[in-house]
Structure 1
Amino acid sequence: MSTVPLPPLPADTGEPAQDYRPGGRSMVDLLADEHHRIDGLCAELVDDAADPGRRRQLAEVLTATVVRHLSAEEQYLYPTVRVAVPDGPTLADRELAADITLLTALRELTGTASADAEFDRRAERVAGLLRRHAAAAETDLFPPLRQVATDAELIRLGNRVEIAEEAAPTRPHPHTPLTPPWNRVVHPAVGMLDKVRDAVTRRRTYLEDLPLPRQANRRHR
Protein backbone atom coordinates (compact mmCIF):
# COMPACT_ATOMS: atom_id res chain seq x y z
CA MET A 1 0.00 0.00 0.00
CA SER A 2 1.35 3.39 -0.95
CA THR A 3 1.67 6.21 1.53
CA VAL A 4 -0.16 9.52 1.17
CA PRO A 5 0.98 13.13 1.62
CA LEU A 6 -0.25 14.05 5.08
CA PRO A 7 -1.27 17.40 6.51
CA PRO A 8 1.31 18.76 8.98
CA LEU A 9 1.93 16.17 11.71
CA PRO A 10 4.51 15.80 14.48
CA ALA A 11 7.72 14.37 13.07
CA ASP A 12 8.39 10.67 13.59
CA THR A 13 11.24 9.93 15.98
CA GLY A 14 13.82 7.58 14.61
CA GLU A 15 13.26 5.15 11.78
CA PRO A 16 10.20 2.99 12.62
CA ALA A 17 10.13 -0.66 11.74
CA GLN A 18 8.24 -1.72 8.63
CA ASP A 19 5.33 -3.07 10.71
CA TYR A 20 5.33 -0.19 13.19
CA ARG A 21 1.84 0.77 14.34
CA PRO A 22 1.40 3.89 16.48
CA GLY A 23 -1.04 3.94 19.36
CA GLY A 24 -4.47 5.42 18.84
CA ARG A 25 -7.45 5.07 16.55
CA SER A 26 -7.73 5.43 12.80
CA MET A 27 -9.14 8.77 11.68
CA VAL A 28 -11.67 6.96 9.53
CA ASP A 29 -12.91 4.75 12.38
CA LEU A 30 -12.99 7.68 14.80
CA LEU A 31 -15.02 9.92 12.48
CA ALA A 32 -17.37 7.06 11.52
CA ASP A 33 -18.11 6.42 15.21
CA GLU A 34 -18.81 10.12 15.69
CA HIS A 35 -21.27 10.01 12.79
CA HIS A 36 -23.16 7.21 14.59
CA ARG A 37 -23.25 9.13 17.87
CA ILE A 38 -24.45 12.27 16.10
CA ASP A 39 -27.19 10.25 14.41
CA GLY A 40 -28.35 9.07 17.85
CA LEU A 41 -28.54 12.67 19.09
CA CYS A 42 -30.56 13.63 16.01
CA ALA A 43 -33.04 10.81 16.60
CA GLU A 44 -33.85 12.18 20.06
CA LEU A 45 -33.78 15.80 18.93
CA VAL A 46 -36.48 15.35 16.25
CA ASP A 47 -38.81 13.51 18.64
CA ASP A 48 -41.49 16.16 19.09
CA ALA A 49 -42.97 14.18 22.00
CA ALA A 50 -39.82 14.75 24.06
CA ASP A 51 -39.66 17.34 26.83
CA PRO A 52 -39.06 20.80 25.27
CA GLY A 53 -36.40 21.65 27.84
CA ARG A 54 -34.45 18.51 27.05
CA ARG A 55 -34.78 19.12 23.30
CA ARG A 56 -33.23 22.54 23.83
CA GLN A 57 -30.33 20.96 25.73
CA LEU A 58 -29.97 18.32 23.01
CA ALA A 59 -29.79 21.04 20.36
CA GLU A 60 -26.92 22.70 22.23
CA VAL A 61 -25.02 19.43 22.75
CA LEU A 62 -25.60 18.35 19.15
CA THR A 63 -24.40 21.72 17.88
CA ALA A 64 -21.21 21.65 19.96
CA THR A 65 -20.52 18.03 18.97
CA VAL A 66 -21.00 18.70 15.26
CA VAL A 67 -18.96 21.92 15.29
CA ARG A 68 -16.02 20.13 16.95
CA HIS A 69 -16.39 17.26 14.46
CA LEU A 70 -16.48 19.53 11.40
CA SER A 71 -13.53 21.57 12.62
CA ALA A 72 -11.38 18.44 12.87
CA GLU A 73 -12.53 17.16 9.48
CA GLU A 74 -11.71 20.50 7.88
CA GLN A 75 -8.21 20.42 9.35
CA TYR A 76 -7.30 16.79 8.63
CA LEU A 77 -9.84 14.76 6.65
CA TYR A 78 -10.46 17.11 3.73
CA PRO A 79 -6.81 18.11 3.19
CA THR A 80 -5.87 14.42 3.08
CA VAL A 81 -8.71 13.62 0.68
CA ARG A 82 -7.69 16.58 -1.48
CA VAL A 83 -4.15 15.29 -2.08
CA ALA A 84 -4.60 11.51 -1.85
CA VAL A 85 -7.97 10.54 -3.32
CA PRO A 86 -8.93 10.58 -7.01
CA ASP A 87 -11.10 13.65 -7.66
CA GLY A 88 -10.14 14.69 -4.12
CA PRO A 89 -10.22 18.49 -4.68
CA THR A 90 -13.76 18.31 -6.05
CA LEU A 91 -14.93 16.12 -3.16
CA ALA A 92 -13.26 18.31 -0.53
CA ASP A 93 -14.70 21.53 -2.00
CA ARG A 94 -18.16 19.93 -2.13
CA GLU A 95 -18.01 18.93 1.54
CA LEU A 96 -16.67 22.31 2.63
CA ALA A 97 -19.62 24.01 0.92
CA ALA A 98 -21.99 21.56 2.62
CA ASP A 99 -20.35 22.35 5.97
CA ILE A 100 -21.20 26.04 5.59
CA THR A 101 -24.84 25.12 4.95
CA LEU A 102 -24.83 22.83 7.99
CA LEU A 103 -23.24 25.41 10.28
CA THR A 104 -25.80 27.99 9.18
CA ALA A 105 -28.63 25.54 9.89
CA LEU A 106 -27.20 24.80 13.35
CA ARG A 107 -27.01 28.50 14.15
CA GLU A 108 -30.66 28.91 13.14
CA LEU A 109 -31.66 25.92 15.27
CA THR A 110 -29.92 27.14 18.41
CA GLY A 111 -31.44 30.57 17.89
CA THR A 112 -34.97 29.12 18.03
CA ALA A 113 -36.91 28.36 21.21
CA SER A 114 -37.76 24.66 21.52
CA ALA A 115 -41.44 25.54 22.10
CA ASP A 116 -41.55 27.42 18.79
CA ALA A 117 -43.17 25.52 15.91
CA GLU A 118 -40.19 26.52 13.74
CA PHE A 119 -37.90 24.48 16.00
CA ASP A 120 -39.30 21.20 14.62
CA ARG A 121 -38.67 22.22 11.03
CA ARG A 122 -35.16 23.39 11.77
CA ALA A 123 -34.36 20.25 13.77
CA GLU A 124 -35.51 18.09 10.86
CA ARG A 125 -33.40 20.14 8.46
CA VAL A 126 -30.28 19.74 10.60
CA ALA A 127 -30.92 15.99 10.93
CA GLY A 128 -31.26 15.66 7.15
CA LEU A 129 -28.06 17.60 6.49
CA LEU A 130 -26.20 15.44 8.99
CA ARG A 131 -27.47 12.25 7.38
CA ARG A 132 -26.20 13.54 4.05
CA HIS A 133 -22.85 14.43 5.64
CA ALA A 134 -22.36 10.94 7.09
CA ALA A 135 -23.50 9.18 3.91
CA ALA A 136 -21.09 11.22 1.77
CA ALA A 137 -18.18 10.35 4.03
CA GLU A 138 -19.04 6.66 4.18
CA THR A 139 -19.57 6.44 0.41
CA ASP A 140 -17.17 8.90 -1.21
CA LEU A 141 -14.38 9.70 1.26
CA PHE A 142 -13.63 6.82 3.60
CA PRO A 143 -13.41 3.86 1.14
CA PRO A 144 -10.80 5.42 -1.20
CA LEU A 145 -8.88 6.80 1.77
CA ARG A 146 -8.62 3.33 3.29
CA GLN A 147 -7.23 2.08 -0.01
CA VAL A 148 -4.43 4.62 -0.35
CA ALA A 149 -3.39 5.29 3.27
CA THR A 150 -1.57 2.95 5.62
CA ASP A 151 -2.95 2.03 9.04
CA ALA A 152 -0.14 3.99 10.68
CA GLU A 153 -0.97 7.11 8.66
CA LEU A 154 -4.67 6.90 9.50
CA ILE A 155 -3.86 6.41 13.19
CA ARG A 156 -1.54 9.40 13.24
CA LEU A 157 -4.29 11.44 11.60
CA GLY A 158 -6.79 10.10 14.14
CA ASN A 159 -4.58 11.30 16.97
CA ARG A 160 -4.48 14.77 15.42
CA VAL A 161 -8.26 14.78 14.97
CA GLU A 162 -8.73 14.14 18.69
CA ILE A 163 -6.37 16.99 19.57
CA ALA A 164 -8.10 19.31 17.09
CA GLU A 165 -11.52 18.55 18.57
CA GLU A 166 -10.33 19.48 22.07
CA ALA A 167 -9.32 22.94 20.83
CA ALA A 168 -12.22 23.40 18.41
CA PRO A 169 -15.10 25.87 18.65
CA THR A 170 -18.38 24.71 20.19
CA ARG A 171 -20.66 27.17 18.40
CA PRO A 172 -21.31 27.51 14.66
CA HIS A 173 -19.21 30.14 12.89
CA PRO A 174 -20.00 29.63 9.19
CA HIS A 175 -18.03 32.71 8.12
CA THR A 176 -14.66 31.74 9.66
CA PRO A 177 -11.98 30.15 7.43
CA LEU A 178 -12.63 26.45 6.75
CA THR A 179 -9.43 25.59 4.89
CA PRO A 180 -5.80 25.35 6.06
CA PRO A 181 -3.74 27.13 7.11
CA TRP A 182 -6.07 29.82 8.44
CA ASN A 183 -8.58 27.48 10.07
CA ARG A 184 -5.77 26.04 12.20
CA VAL A 185 -5.05 29.54 13.44
CA VAL A 186 -8.60 30.86 13.78
CA HIS A 187 -10.43 27.76 15.06
CA PRO A 188 -8.47 27.37 18.35
CA ALA A 189 -8.79 31.10 19.07
CA VAL A 190 -12.53 31.01 18.43
CA GLY A 191 -12.76 27.76 20.37
CA MET A 192 -11.23 29.38 23.44
CA LEU A 193 -13.75 32.23 23.30
CA ASP A 194 -16.61 29.74 22.88
CA LYS A 195 -15.47 27.78 25.94
CA VAL A 196 -15.45 30.97 28.02
CA ARG A 197 -19.00 31.74 26.90
CA ASP A 198 -20.04 28.15 27.63
CA ALA A 199 -18.63 28.35 31.15
CA VAL A 200 -20.30 31.70 31.88
CA THR A 201 -23.70 30.55 30.59
CA ARG A 202 -23.30 26.98 31.94
CA ARG A 203 -24.05 25.66 28.48
CA ARG A 204 -23.80 21.91 28.09
CA THR A 205 -21.60 20.79 25.21
CA TYR A 206 -21.07 17.05 25.80
CA LEU A 207 -23.60 14.23 25.82
CA GLU A 208 -22.43 13.06 29.23
CA ASP A 209 -23.30 16.50 30.64
CA LEU A 210 -26.99 15.98 29.88
CA PRO A 211 -29.29 14.84 32.69
CA LEU A 212 -31.15 11.60 32.13
CA PRO A 213 -34.54 11.88 30.40
CA ARG A 214 -37.44 12.23 32.82
CA GLN A 215 -38.63 8.66 32.35
CA ALA A 216 -35.10 7.39 33.03
CA ASN A 217 -34.93 9.50 36.20
CA ARG A 218 -38.16 7.90 37.40
CA ARG A 219 -36.75 4.43 36.84
CA HIS A 220 -33.68 5.25 38.89
CA ARG A 221 -35.45 6.67 41.94
Structure 2
Amino acid sequence: MGTQQDVIAVLVTDHRAVEQMFAELDGMRGEIGEEAKILVEQVVIELTRHSIAEEAHLYPAVREHVQGGDKLADQEIAEHSDAERTMKRLEGLEPGDAGFWPAVDLLMSQIRAHVREEENDLFPRLREACPPEELRELGAKVERAQKIAPTRPRPAAPGASPAGKLTALGAGLVDRIRDALTGRGRS
Protein backbone atom coordinates (compact mmCIF):
# COMPACT_ATOMS: atom_id res chain seq x y z
CA MET A 1 0.00 0.00 0.00
CA GLY A 2 1.37 3.42 -0.98
CA THR A 3 1.83 6.51 1.11
CA GLN A 4 -1.23 8.66 1.65
CA GLN A 5 -1.29 11.78 -0.52
CA ASP A 6 -1.70 15.03 1.30
CA VAL A 7 -4.92 16.99 0.94
CA ILE A 8 -3.43 19.39 -1.59
CA ALA A 9 -2.31 16.57 -3.90
CA VAL A 10 -5.73 14.90 -3.61
CA LEU A 11 -7.57 18.11 -4.46
CA VAL A 12 -5.23 19.09 -7.30
CA THR A 13 -5.80 15.63 -8.81
CA ASP A 14 -9.54 16.32 -8.65
CA HIS A 15 -9.02 19.71 -10.28
CA ARG A 16 -7.14 18.14 -13.19
CA ALA A 17 -9.83 15.49 -13.70
CA VAL A 18 -12.55 18.14 -13.85
CA GLU A 19 -10.47 20.27 -16.20
CA GLN A 20 -10.14 17.25 -18.50
CA MET A 21 -13.93 16.92 -18.54
CA PHE A 22 -14.20 20.65 -19.26
CA ALA A 23 -11.84 20.22 -22.22
CA GLU A 24 -14.09 17.44 -23.53
CA LEU A 25 -17.13 19.71 -23.12
CA ASP A 26 -15.33 22.49 -24.99
CA GLY A 27 -14.94 20.03 -27.87
CA MET A 28 -18.68 19.27 -27.81
CA ARG A 29 -19.73 22.91 -27.76
CA GLY A 30 -23.22 23.32 -29.18
CA GLU A 31 -23.97 19.59 -29.51
CA ILE A 32 -27.42 18.56 -28.40
CA GLY A 33 -26.87 14.82 -27.96
CA GLU A 34 -27.00 12.59 -24.91
CA GLU A 35 -23.18 12.48 -24.67
CA ALA A 36 -23.00 16.15 -23.61
CA LYS A 37 -25.72 15.63 -20.97
CA ILE A 38 -23.90 12.58 -19.53
CA LEU A 39 -20.60 14.44 -19.35
CA VAL A 40 -22.23 17.40 -17.60
CA GLU A 41 -23.80 14.96 -15.13
CA GLN A 42 -20.35 13.49 -14.47
CA VAL A 43 -18.93 16.98 -13.90
CA VAL A 44 -21.75 17.82 -11.47
CA ILE A 45 -21.24 14.56 -9.56
CA GLU A 46 -17.49 15.13 -9.20
CA LEU A 47 -17.79 18.80 -8.30
CA THR A 48 -20.49 18.13 -5.71
CA ARG A 49 -18.46 15.43 -3.97
CA HIS A 50 -15.31 17.57 -4.17
CA SER A 51 -16.93 20.69 -2.72
CA ILE A 52 -18.59 18.82 0.13
CA ALA A 53 -15.28 17.21 1.10
CA GLU A 54 -13.52 20.59 0.95
CA GLU A 55 -16.17 22.22 3.12
CA ALA A 56 -16.07 19.41 5.68
CA HIS A 57 -12.28 19.10 5.97
CA LEU A 58 -10.18 21.62 3.99
CA TYR A 59 -11.82 24.85 5.03
CA PRO A 60 -11.87 24.07 8.76
CA ALA A 61 -8.10 23.45 8.49
CA VAL A 62 -7.69 26.75 6.64
CA ARG A 63 -9.60 28.52 9.42
CA GLU A 64 -7.36 26.89 12.04
CA HIS A 65 -3.93 27.21 10.45
CA VAL A 66 -3.88 30.04 7.90
CA GLN A 67 -3.70 33.68 8.93
CA GLY A 68 -6.92 35.28 7.72
CA GLY A 69 -8.30 31.78 7.21
CA ASP A 70 -11.86 32.64 8.23
CA LYS A 71 -12.17 35.19 5.46
CA LEU A 72 -10.52 32.87 2.92
CA ALA A 73 -12.74 29.93 3.84
CA ASP A 74 -15.88 32.08 3.74
CA GLN A 75 -14.95 33.32 0.25
CA GLU A 76 -14.34 29.77 -1.01
CA ILE A 77 -17.64 28.53 0.45
CA ALA A 78 -19.49 31.44 -1.18
CA GLU A 79 -17.94 30.44 -4.51
CA HIS A 80 -19.12 26.87 -3.94
CA SER A 81 -22.65 28.14 -3.32
CA ASP A 82 -22.61 30.09 -6.58
CA ALA A 83 -21.36 27.06 -8.50
CA GLU A 84 -23.93 24.80 -6.81
CA ARG A 85 -26.74 27.09 -7.94
CA THR A 86 -25.40 26.85 -11.50
CA MET A 87 -25.14 23.05 -11.24
CA LYS A 88 -28.69 22.84 -9.88
CA ARG A 89 -29.89 24.88 -12.86
CA LEU A 90 -27.98 22.56 -15.23
CA GLU A 91 -29.74 19.53 -13.76
CA GLY A 92 -33.00 20.84 -15.21
CA LEU A 93 -31.65 21.56 -18.68
CA GLU A 94 -31.06 19.42 -21.75
CA PRO A 95 -28.30 20.09 -24.32
CA GLY A 96 -30.91 21.33 -26.80
CA ASP A 97 -32.27 23.94 -24.38
CA ALA A 98 -31.23 27.53 -25.04
CA GLY A 99 -29.78 27.94 -21.55
CA PHE A 100 -27.75 24.71 -21.43
CA TRP A 101 -24.47 25.80 -23.03
CA PRO A 102 -24.48 29.26 -21.41
CA ALA A 103 -24.92 27.52 -18.02
CA VAL A 104 -22.05 25.13 -18.88
CA ASP A 105 -19.89 28.13 -19.77
CA LEU A 106 -20.80 29.88 -16.51
CA LEU A 107 -19.98 26.77 -14.47
CA MET A 108 -16.63 26.31 -16.21
CA SER A 109 -15.78 29.97 -15.60
CA GLN A 110 -16.78 29.75 -11.92
CA ILE A 111 -14.80 26.56 -11.32
CA ARG A 112 -11.71 27.66 -13.23
CA ALA A 113 -11.54 30.90 -11.21
CA HIS A 114 -12.05 28.96 -7.99
CA VAL A 115 -9.31 26.47 -8.87
CA ARG A 116 -6.86 29.30 -9.70
CA GLU A 117 -7.52 30.95 -6.33
CA GLU A 118 -7.09 27.71 -4.43
CA GLU A 119 -3.95 26.58 -6.23
CA ASN A 120 -2.25 29.99 -6.38
CA ASP A 121 -3.17 31.34 -2.94
CA LEU A 122 -4.96 29.03 -0.52
CA PHE A 123 -2.96 25.82 -1.06
CA PRO A 124 0.50 27.45 -0.76
CA ARG A 125 -0.58 29.26 2.39
CA LEU A 126 -1.99 26.07 3.90
CA ARG A 127 1.13 24.05 3.00
CA GLU A 128 3.29 26.66 4.74
CA ALA A 129 1.13 26.82 7.87
CA CYS A 130 0.01 23.22 8.40
CA PRO A 131 2.23 20.29 9.47
CA PRO A 132 2.82 17.69 6.71
CA GLU A 133 1.34 14.84 8.78
CA GLU A 134 -1.88 16.79 9.26
CA LEU A 135 -2.02 17.51 5.51
CA ARG A 136 -1.79 13.74 4.88
CA GLU A 137 -4.50 13.04 7.45
CA LEU A 138 -6.70 15.63 5.74
CA GLY A 139 -6.02 13.92 2.41
CA ALA A 140 -7.35 10.64 3.80
CA LYS A 141 -10.40 12.39 5.30
CA VAL A 142 -11.18 14.12 2.00
CA GLU A 143 -10.93 10.85 0.08
CA ARG A 144 -13.25 9.10 2.56
CA ALA A 145 -15.71 11.99 2.46
CA GLN A 146 -15.87 11.92 -1.33
CA LYS A 147 -16.87 8.25 -1.26
CA ILE A 148 -19.96 8.90 0.87
CA ALA A 149 -20.83 12.47 -0.12
CA PRO A 150 -24.01 13.31 -1.99
CA THR A 151 -23.70 13.50 -5.77
CA ARG A 152 -26.39 16.09 -6.41
CA PRO A 153 -25.99 19.80 -5.66
CA ARG A 154 -27.95 21.17 -2.75
CA PRO A 155 -27.26 24.89 -2.60
CA ALA A 156 -27.11 25.83 1.06
CA ALA A 157 -29.00 28.65 2.60
CA PRO A 158 -26.78 31.52 3.71
CA GLY A 159 -25.27 30.75 7.09
CA ALA A 160 -25.95 27.00 6.87
CA SER A 161 -23.29 24.67 8.19
CA PRO A 162 -21.13 23.44 5.28
CA ALA A 163 -20.35 20.21 7.14
CA GLY A 164 -24.07 19.61 7.42
CA LYS A 165 -24.07 18.56 3.78
CA LEU A 166 -21.65 15.76 4.58
CA THR A 167 -23.38 14.65 7.75
CA ALA A 168 -26.52 14.02 5.75
CA LEU A 169 -25.11 10.60 4.85
CA GLY A 170 -28.55 9.47 3.88
CA ALA A 171 -28.52 12.03 1.08
CA GLY A 172 -25.35 10.51 -0.34
CA LEU A 173 -26.83 7.02 -0.23
CA VAL A 174 -30.10 8.19 -1.77
CA ASP A 175 -28.20 10.05 -4.50
CA ARG A 176 -26.16 6.96 -5.37
CA ILE A 177 -29.27 4.78 -5.52
CA ARG A 178 -31.05 7.32 -7.73
CA ASP A 179 -27.96 7.59 -9.94
CA ALA A 180 -27.78 3.81 -10.30
CA LEU A 181 -31.48 3.47 -11.11
CA THR A 182 -31.53 6.32 -13.63
CA GLY A 183 -28.08 5.79 -15.13
CA ARG A 184 -27.18 9.40 -14.29
CA GLY A 185 -23.58 10.24 -15.19
CA ARG A 186 -22.92 6.94 -16.96
CA SER A 187 -22.11 6.68 -20.62
TM-score (norm 2): 0.91
Q: 2:66·2:129 contact (CA, 8 Å) conserved in 1?
A: yes
* Alpha-carbon shift at residue 23 of structure 1 (Å): 3.2
Structure 2 residue runs of 5 or longer lacking an equivalent are none
Which of the residues 94, 108, 121 maps onto 2:102? Answer: 121
Q: 1:167·1:191 contact (CA, 8 Å) conserved in 2?
A: yes
2:5 corresponds to: 25
Q: Which has the higher helix share?
A: 2
Name which one, 1 or 2, has greater alpha-carbon Rg.
Answer: 1
User: Cα deviations across residues 165-202 of structure 1 (Å, max 9, x unaligned)?
Assistant: 0000101000374434x34422x221111112112212
Give, in whole Å, the separation in 1 of the partners of 2:131 and 2:45. Answer: 31
CA shift in 2, pair 1:105/1:112, >3 Å: same
Q: 2:32·2:95 contact (CA, 8 Å) conserved in 1?
A: no
SS in 2 for 1:117: coil
1:39 corresponds to: 19
Which of the residues 85, 108, 112 maps onto 1:131? Answer: 112
Give, in whole Å, the separation in 1 of the partners of 2:74 and 2:13. Answer: 23
Corresponding pairs, count: 183
* Alpha-carbon shift at residue 117 of structure 1 (Å): 2.4
2:33 corresponds to: 52
Map 1:143-182; keep pairs closer than 5 Å. 143-175=124-156, 177-180=160-163, 182=164
Structure 1 residue runs of 5 or longer lacking an equivalent are 1-21, 211-221
Give, in whole Å, the separation in 1 of the partners of 2:135 and 2:156. Answer: 29
